Structure 1
Amino acid sequence: MENKYTYKDAFEELQEIVSAIETGDIPVDELTVKITRASSLLEICKAKLTDSEAEVEKLLQKLEKENPSDPAADTEA
């Protein structure tokens, strides 16, 4: 997998490929290559999203440990 890509770069290239396929701008001879590339770009995007989700989860767990909820505060209003 190509880790040099940012999510934005991979997603933009993927959008270009999809658009070209939808409009018929890709010759049939290149279609397989473009679909293979699109698959790789999808994997890059998925990996970036998974990594981001894991980082957010870690941060949320850290915040919860630093500031545990006070059950009594939840019932007071």
Structure 2
Amino acid sequence: MNQELTYEAAYAELQQIAEEIENETVSVDILAEKVKRASVLIEFCQQKLRATEVEVNNIIKQMENKPGA
């Protein structure tokens, strides 16, 4: 997986793959490849969302624990 991949880029690529499959513009010869790539992108996005959720929750906890907050 490209380490420079962003959530937005992964999501955009997923949308493109989904559109190609829905519009039946994907050749049967590469359909499995597209589905495999989509699976990798979905996992990347899920991990990114989980990591962001943890980070945001930690920031909120830190803010709640500060005196005077």
TM (norm. structure 1) is: 0.82
Question: Residue 50 of structure 1 aligns to which amino acid in structure 2?
Answer: R
Taking only the aligned residue pairs, the percentage that are identical comes to 38
Question: Residue 56 of structure 1 aligns to which amino acid in structure 2?
Answer: V
Would you say the 8 A contact 1:17–1:38 is kept in 2? yes
**How many equivalent residue pairs?**
69
Aligned match of 1:42: 42
SS at match of 1:43: helix
Deviations 1:22-72 (A, max 9, x none): 000000010000000000000110011011101100001001100477xxx
Q: Which runs of 5+ in 1 are unaligned?
A: 70-77
Larger radius of gyration: 1
Aligned match of 1:22: 22
CA RMSD, 1 decimal: 1.5
Q: Which runs of 5+ in 2 are unaligned?
A: none
